[in-house]
Amino acid sequence: MGTDELLQQSLVALAAAVVVTGVATMSSWKAAATYGFGILVIASVLLPDWEFFDHDFKKYDEAKVNNRFKREEVIINGREGDQVNKASAWLKKYERKLEKKRAKAMEKVQNEVAKVQRKAEEKRTLAEAKWGTKVARMLELANFMRAVGRVPSTKRSFF
């Protein structure tokens, strides 16, 4: 007779004992106590010989721990990837903002340089015009002196 058949017969006998106890004593509490005691006796006598319980539980626990670790590792890697992607996106966004600010600042500086160069060119042009005017006056004075033979008077009259 196999272990499975013996277990089935023991459970049937226990059920019969529970029914007899319940009917004879008219107490459901005593019937429940008989059932609990019977299950403990059957488990302590039959189950240690069963093939299912005759294997190394360490392998089961080790596999369980390994599976849990792998799940946690996948979750951690997923979170890490998400956070890295989020940080990279933020960095790219901030770099674009900085690039726009840099471009505006460069444009502003270039405009300022162009403005300074225009003013310098205007001043240079005015200085050259003034210089040209003075040179022309000096040449005119020199021509007058050559033609007349004397230095013109510095007094000027309005009449």
Q: Residue 26 gets which letter from DSSP?
A: T
Identify whether 81 is part of a domain.
no
Number of domains in the chain: 1
66-103 pLDDT per residue, tens: 889 999 999 999 999 999 999 999 999 999 999 999 99
CA atoms within 13 A on the CB side of 66: 6
Q: Are 141 and 152 in contact (CB under 8 A)?
A: yes
**Residue 30: domain span:** 1-54
Q: 19 in a domain, yes or no?
A: yes
Instruction: Specify the amino acid at residue 52.
Output: F
34 within some domain: yes
Residues 6 or more apart whose Cβ sits within 8 Å of residue 53: 47
pTM of this prediction exceeds 0.75: no
Assess if residue 70 is contained within a domain.
Answer: no
In-domain check, residue 43: yes
In-domain check, residue 46: yes
Return the exposure string of 56-94: e unless at least 16 CB atoms fall within 10 Å of the residue's CB, then b. eeeeeeeeeeeeeeeeeeeeeeeeeeeeeeeeeeeeeee
The pLDDT value recorded for residue 112 is 96
On whether residue 151 sits in a domain, the answer given is: no
In the block, residue with structure tokens 């369980």? 64
